Amino acid sequence: MDSLEKLARDARVTVRRGGPANAEGSAVVYWMQRAQRAVDNSALETAIRAANLLKKPVVVFVGIVRDYPNANLRSYTFFAQGLRDVAAGLERRGIGFVLRAWPENDLLKFCDEISPCLVVGDENPLREPEQWRKDLAARLRVPFWTVDADVIVPSHLLLKEQYGARTIRPRINSLLDGFLVPVGQATPRVRWGAAKKILSLSPEADLLQNLPISRAVQPVAGLRGGADEGIKILKRFLRERLAGYDEGRNQPDQDHTSRISPYLHFGHLGPHTVALAVKDAQTPAADREAFLEQLIVRRELAINFCRFNPNYDNLKCGEPWALRTLKEHARDEREYLYSEPQLENAETHDPLWNAAQRQMVVTGWMHGYLRMYWAKKILEWTRTAEEAFAIAVRLNDRYELDGRDPNGYAGIAWAIAGKHDRAWGPERPIYGKIRYMSYASTSRKFNSKAYVTMVNGMCQ
């Protein structure tokens, strides 16, 4: 058991429920949620190493919940498409895989069936999944560990909410050499031999057919989830679009973006896989450094924000200066006011905003530069900043494949509530000291007419 304690320290485990492992248990259970992949998964590797110390097999449990907050058929389908790759990858490694859909998705019931030695989970800073982990820890009878498998530098090491990129960057960089290394791939010493208890994995509709979920938003045509597809898209980015990324990433009319954000969100790609591939790419250093800044510093700043700020998805998360200036300008006259249905249907006077909204609705993706403009205009066209924040969150989470994610919440908080930004002058109506973006200024950054034409053609 001393070796397990050393493993927990070395793996930067968060001990949710302590005590000695059940040496008489049948297996180590890995509760897979956020890190939906069979490789580059530090939570899975921790479970394997613990099982090897105990001379037990590993079994992965995935439970499909009903009505995950703000999810719908689009996001559930992308999630389900990734499970076949998970199942195949685990089988190759001799690891069990148990998949159960609501109402049979109870992990505690499964633990009662197999009597685990201990349970390992991955971490998720969002409110509902974190509460699930707390509830499980209170009810399990064996140790429960969690591992932050979705970042390069474990987020708990940063201790508190960081003010912005300039404060988190040196902290991350001071730890990066020790963490930006391959996760490794341990070999299970005992293979899982129990009878399979999984649902059919093909087609995905089998998994979702009877699940009570919102079906208002359809899957994205021509885009599939899964680790195999994520690797293909990553390789295409490295080969065709990483060169020129530094200057081209804020040009929506061009295509220098990676398009891997849904695969990172669902855990089909791990951040180590992406970061190490980019680091070793034969492209200009400026392009590699610009991408790694977004992948590591900016992405992990967003995760830090959601981990340490309980109001990450509402206006209360804003910086004090931002909340003051928004309050001072709360009664400013709005030239345009749109309802949420009008915004959702892209029925505004602004062709650029409408195109960005249509792109999100149809493709499940919006260019990162336009996400900023999109959210700021919602602030300008709704009655209050609180309403604007809520609408932006709902639309983002409903349509974006990488919605319901720290990056999305941090982006909306930056655009509307000054999070990770500073006060700007001169003061403007409605915005006050919040950074302002206009159709004219945004259009000068790139060929907005070409972008609108491209999106309108795509969305017909």
Domain that holds residue 320: 315-458
**331 lies in the same domain as 270:** no
Which pLDDT band holds residue 2 (cuts at 50, 70, 90)?
low
Regarding whether 344 and 322 lie in a shared domain, the answer is: yes
Q: Are residues 259 and 331 in the same domain?
A: no
Query: Would residue 187 count as lying in a domain?
Result: no
240 in the same domain as 173: yes
pLDDT digits (tens, 9 = 90+) for 404-451: 999 999 999 999 999 999 999 899 999 999 999 999 989 888 999 999
Residue 217 lies in a domain: no
The CATH number of whichever domain residue 268 belongs to comes to 1.25.40.80
* Same domain as 370, residue 339: yes
pLDDT digits (tens, 9 = 90+) for 208-255: 988 999 999 999 999 999 999 999 999 999 999 999 999 999 899 887
Q: Is residue 368 part of a domain?
A: yes
Instruction: Tell me, yes or no, whether 337 and 284 share the same domain.
Output: no
**133 plus 233 within the same structural domain:** no
Q: Is 120 helix (H, G, I), strand (E, B) or coil?
A: strand
What CATH number is associated with residue 58?
3.40.50.620
In a domain, 188, yes or no: no
pLDDT tens-digit readout, 40-94 = 999 999 999 999 999 999 999 999 999 888 899 999 999 999 999 999 999 999 9
How much of the chain exceeds pLDDT 70, in percent? 97
Judge whether 256 lies within some domain. yes
Q: Is residue 30 part of a domain?
A: yes
pLDDT at 193: 85
- Average pLDDT of 115-131? 97
Q: What's the rounded mean pLDDT across residues 25-31?
A: 97
Predicted pLDDT at 203 = 59
Domain boundary residue, one of 261, 293, 308:
308
Question: Could you tell me if 332 and 289 lie in one domain?
Answer: no
pLDDT, position 155: 95
Please tell me the distance from the alpha carbon of residue 369 to that of residue 445, in angstroms, as a whole number.
Answer: 10
Confidence of residue 458 (pLDDT cuts 50, 70, 90): confident
Question: Cα–Cα distances in Å, from 176 out to 147, 157, 266?
Answer: 17, 12, 23
Torsion of CA 168, 262, 272, 125, to 10 degrees: 50
Residue that terminates a domain, selected from 291, 308, 325: 308
Which CATH number covers residue 414?
1.10.579.10
Is there a single domain that holds both residue 241 and residue 328? Answer: no
The mean predicted confidence, pLDDT, of the chain is 94
Q: How far is CA 208 from CA 88, 102, 405, 459, in A?
A: 20, 10, 22, 27
Domain count, the chain: 3
Indicate if the pLDDT at residue 116 is higher than 90.
yes
Q: In whole angstroms, what is the distance from residue 234 CA to residue 245 CA? A: 14
Give me the amino acid identity at 338: Y
Residues 346, 302 within the same domain: no
Q: What is the pLDDT of residue 55?
A: 96
What CA–CA distance (Å, rounded) separates 43 from 21?
17
* Segment 247-291, tens digit of pLDDT: 999 899 887 899 999 999 999 999 999 999 999 999 999 999 999
- Asked, for residue 201, whether it belongs to a domain, the answer is no
Same domain, 304 and 341: no
pLDDT of residue 207: 85
Supply the pTM of this predicted model: 0.96
Closest CA to 271 of 414, 388, 149, 147: 149
Which pLDDT score is estimated for 271?
A: 98
What's at 278, amino acid-wise? V
Question: Which of 281, 308, 335 lies at the terminal end of a domain, its last residue?
Answer: 308
Whether 219 is covered by a domain: the verdict is no
Q: 350-395 pLDDT, tens per residue?
A: 999 999 999 999 999 999 999 999 999 999 999 999 999 999 999 9
Mean pLDDT calculated for residue range 333-353: 97
The average pLDDT across 339-353 equals 97
Query: Do residue 59 and residue 135 come from a single domain?
Result: yes
Q: Over 60: is that where the pLDDT of 197 sits?
A: no
